[in-house]
Chains A and B, each alone.
Chain A
Amino acid sequence: MTAGAAPTLSVTLRVWRQAGPGAPGRFVDYPARDLSPHMSFLEMLDVVNDGLTLRGEEPIAFAHDCREGICGTCSLVINGKPHGPNRGVASCQTYLRSFRDGDVIVVEPFRARPFPVVKDLVTDRAAFDRIQQAGGFITARTGSAPEANALPVPKADADLAMDAAQCIGCGACVAACKNASAMLFVAAKVSHLGLLPQGQAERDRRVLAMVETMDGQGFGGCVNQYECSAACPKLISHDFIARLNRDYRQAVLRAAFQPAASEASGGA
């Protein structure tokens, strides 16, 4: 498994460099030579950055943390594809064995207006947090929870909720969409909580608030091409977008036709 006598590869990285949010950006070529195919894509950037540092140049800023595909921090567009050439993995789980000797590899940040570039390959994805804050929760004050097994959840529902809940909040769905839609992200959270009995009380309020915030943050609508699911490192299904649409319609209708319950006044 070690490099040793194993074949190596050399590539040219064409990297987006941008000093700050307002600054103009441009592509700069960096050679990366004699790399082990077992090296991860981010480890290659580490090596390139060490070289830049020693030459007195500023290293390439890129977002990363867990390097095992679960924290959602890494966010590269590699050769035009968010998270690179392989299905169902994040940028950090992309290995050089996916490339050939002599390749020119274009590396860009996620591009979408709601994700402004911070520096080089790093973008600001706080818009996702704002969508979560609008309604991506079940209100369960600490200490107020009933006994966990008091409310059985059919296994099929729990499994489907888990499929949706796997979202790592990376934003590849947005970067992959030509309309910069965040609907797969919102659909995943709305479906996860809406599939569970605990999530019913706030189901309508949740979907209305999250969709409104999603629109307010500047994300576009779904154009039904499902690039989002294809780019998703957890392969979250676009079926959840249909569920989001259904939930949203129901909530809008219920809000329009059901008389609002009169607000109870405070205690005497």
Chain B
Amino acid sequence: MVQLDAKTPAGPLPEKWRRHKTQIRLVNPANKRKYEIIVVGAGRAGASAASSLAELGYKVKCFVFHDSPRRAHSIAAQGGINAAKNYQNDGDSVYRLFYDTIKGGDYRSREANVHRLAEVSVDIIDQCVAQGVPFAREYGGLLANRSFGGAQVSRTFYARGQTGQQLLLGAYSALSRQVAAGAVQLFTEAEMLDLVVSGGHAKGIVVRHLVTGEIVRHAGDAVVLATGGYGNVFDLTTYARGSNATAIWRAYRRGACFANPCYTQIHPTCIPVSGDYQSKLTLMSESLRNDGRIWVPKKKEDARKAPADIPEADRDYFLERIYPSFGNLCPRDVASRAAKRMCDEGRGVGETGLSVYLDFADAIRRLGEAGVRERYGNLFDIYHEITAENAYRTPMRIYPAVHYTMGGLWVDYNLMSNLPGLFVLGEANFADQGANRLGASALMQGLADGYFVIPYTIGDYLATQAPGSRPAPDGPEFRQAEENVRAVTARLLALKGRETVGHFHRRLGRIMWQHCGMARNRAGLEQALREIPALREEFWQNLNVPGSGDTLNQSLERAGRVADFLELGELMCRDALAREESCGGHFREEHQYPDGECKRDDVNFAHVAAWEHRGEGQAPLRHVEPLVYESVKMSVRNYK
């Protein structure tokens, strides 16, 4: 029976982390080199963890499926990173950042974790500046800030529209230094396909080399997963094509609980879908909402007209109308749902009717075209490349798209899952973002976990493991895991059916978007729970994976990932069905206020739902971790 003990430290909220750090066990410096830590993933969380752990003296093996650790999808984050530095003297503080993040997450995150995140946010900026991250600066040479998605203070640090790239490259440079020093052994093009659990503890992984097809077992004293989010279950998203859930899913199948899988974030400002062949949706940074105004025509019959032909009086700036105090800057889930409602009413624009305008005409009048270009030039360029439209002349068209997953493997305060020795960082875990993530919080959380949490908390576990007690990678659990990987690979290659893996991925994505997307209801979720198992069965009968397993085979890679998505999608629907309330990114149509806002049920659902895998053909078990708020009072999120 799984026990979910969050291990939240005692004491007043602002003291918890400081006190915890002085009380958890330490590993003797001479012993650190005797421990080998496996880190899977080298995005913002994995690279920062691998380098920081190596600096402490641990031996680190770092695995990435990309050809280089610099390719992780953290690189695509545009807008920025939050930190409670209060450099702008506008009243920011650790408490305010903590409070905004808890509220933004719709009171479904863990209080103590979020406070710690806000505390270490200031250290992250120091760390990144010391590494040479070229953050934007003022003329006096000090760091610049901007306000971002739903914040009423300017606490976001940024590097043009490429903040994620620069923060990732900072972590990559620290990782590169440790690789050169021999402290990190780097395995590229190595995809983790199973977790090895030995004596009830996570002690190893099985990886497949994507170029040679070689399958290898690796043992470690602890395993750290930093493998990102699972949004690609929807197929058409802002994620990189390679982003996948395989590492966390296979850990789930080995006993790690999966928490709040239904919490997905739909980002309001993406370039709309244009055709069936489409492989990817592109995000336009929500910083655009600082100066752009979102509108649709007031009248349905105007929806097909050119925007210039719709007079000002016939335009509905719906976010400004519905949320007068936050206006275009209201949180992502709120803005996305409002756009969907407008399109559902038939007032969506573009040929598909599935987009709304994001208009810069006012900003251009106020700042001049040059002023707008200076702030957002690269985003206007991206928009032009993709749509061939000039957004300085005509409004952009945007629509929400899947962008981030707040759910993930369950972890305690030390970021350890219910499987001892398995740690989960960044987007792959669930703890800090609640039911909705605020803008510029993902980079913060990934780097907080990697630079400033795991280096302390992993010692508390390793101190209980005698140095040298790590099993050799040839015990029965290791051999069984390798056989499992070989069997799945062989089965996929042997199917030789009639459909491509992309075909199944698209169909799964459509089911998920329709029934488990921006709005969900019981009938739809129940339908999805019938359709997904049927699709999965078809997949395992009619899939065609060409080629062989002993060479670079991109179809085989994707087939393994989609096989996992076909299971995860079902769990997401199950979770969405069980959560009979609306909160953050999880909107159940049955649970809303008359004005269409989320209706939370704090009496029955102020908890984390963590699902336990119970074997093939058996329904997973839903465990509950109550969310206890000592400092914050839960209230209705109000952005009006």
Given A56-B546, A134-B180, are A50 and B502 neighbors across the interface (CB < 8 Å)? yes
Residues 56-89 of chain B, each 1 if its beta carbon lies under 8 Å from chain A, else 0? 0000000000111111110110000000010100
- List chain B residues, Cβ under 8 A from A133: 176-177, 179-180
Q: Does B519 contact A (CB under 8 A)?
A: no
List the A residue with the shortest CB-CB distance to B74: A71
List the A residue with the shortest CB-CB distance to B71: A71
A155 near B137 (CB under 8 angstroms)?
yes
B residues near A (Cβ < 8 Å) are 48, 51-52, 55, 66-73, 75-76, 85, 87, 123, 125-132, 134-143, 159-160, 162, 165-166, 169, 172-174, 176-177, 179-180, 186, 188, 211, 240-242, 272, 274-280, 282-283, 350-352, 382, 385-388, 451-452, 455, 498-500, 502-503, 544, 546-547, 551-552, 554-555
A196 near B132 (CB under 8 angstroms)?
yes
A39 near B275 (CB under 8 angstroms)?
yes
Could you tell me the distance in whole angstroms from the C-beta of B444 to the nearest C-beta in chain A? 14
User: Most B CB atoms within 10 A — which of A71, A122, A192?
Assistant: A71
- List chain A residues, Cβ under 8 A from B274: 1-2, 36, 38
Could you tell me the distance in whole angstroms from the C-beta of B388 to the nearest C-beta in chain A? 6
- List chain A residues, Cβ under 8 A from B498: 54
Q: Does A242 contact B (CB under 8 A)?
A: no
Which of A135-166 touch B at CB < 8 Å? 136-149, 151-155, 158-159, 161-162, 165-166
Residues 124-135 of chain A, each 1 if its beta carbon lies under 8 Å from chain B, else 0? 111011001110
Q: Can you name 11 A-B residue pairings with CB atoms under 8 Å?
A: A1-B351, A54-B544, A65-B241, A71-B76, A73-B71, A129-B70, A142-B127, A148-B129, A155-B139, A162-B136, A169-B70
B280 near A70 (CB under 8 angstroms)?
no
Residues 238-263 of chain A, each 1 if its beta carbon lies under 8 Å from chain B, else 0? 00000000000000000000000000
- List chain A residues, Cβ under 8 A from B283: 68
A residues near B (Cβ < 8 Å) are 1-4, 19-20, 36, 38-40, 42-44, 46-47, 50, 52-54, 56-59, 61, 63-73, 86, 89, 93, 95, 97, 118-119, 122, 124-126, 128-129, 132-134, 136-149, 151-155, 158-159, 161-162, 165-166, 168-169, 192-193, 196, 198-199
B179 near A137 (CB under 8 angstroms)?
no
B388 near A192 (CB under 8 angstroms)?
no
A142 near B275 (CB under 8 angstroms)?
no
Give Cα distance in the complex from A67 to B385, angstroms: 12
B126 near A146 (CB under 8 angstroms)?
yes
User: Most B CB atoms within 10 A — which of A1, A19, A128, A199?
Assistant: A1
**Main SS class of interface, A:** loop
A93 near B73 (CB under 8 angstroms)?
no
Which residue of A3, A73, A154 contacts B67 across the interface (Cβ within 8 Å)?
Answer: A73
Given A119-B551, A144-B130, are A149 and B162 neighbors across the interface (CB < 8 Å)? no
Give Cα distance in the complex from A139 to B137, angstroms: 22
Give Cα distance in the complex from A89 to B552, angstroms: 27
A158 near B73 (CB under 8 angstroms)?
no
List the A residue with the shortest CB-CB distance to B127: A145
Could you tell me the distance in whole angstroms from the C-beta of B291 to the nearest C-beta in chain A? 21
Could you tell me the distance in whole angstroms from the C-beta of B629 to the nearest C-beta in chain A? 31
List the A residue with the shortest CB-CB distance to B125: A148
A199 near B132 (CB under 8 angstroms)?
yes
List the A residue with the shortest CB-CB distance to B544: A53
- List chain B residues, Cβ under 8 A from A43: 277-279
- List chain A residues, Cβ under 8 A from B352: 1-2
- List chain A residues, Cβ under 8 A from B134: 158, 161-162, 165, 192, 196
B552 near A169 (CB under 8 angstroms)?
no
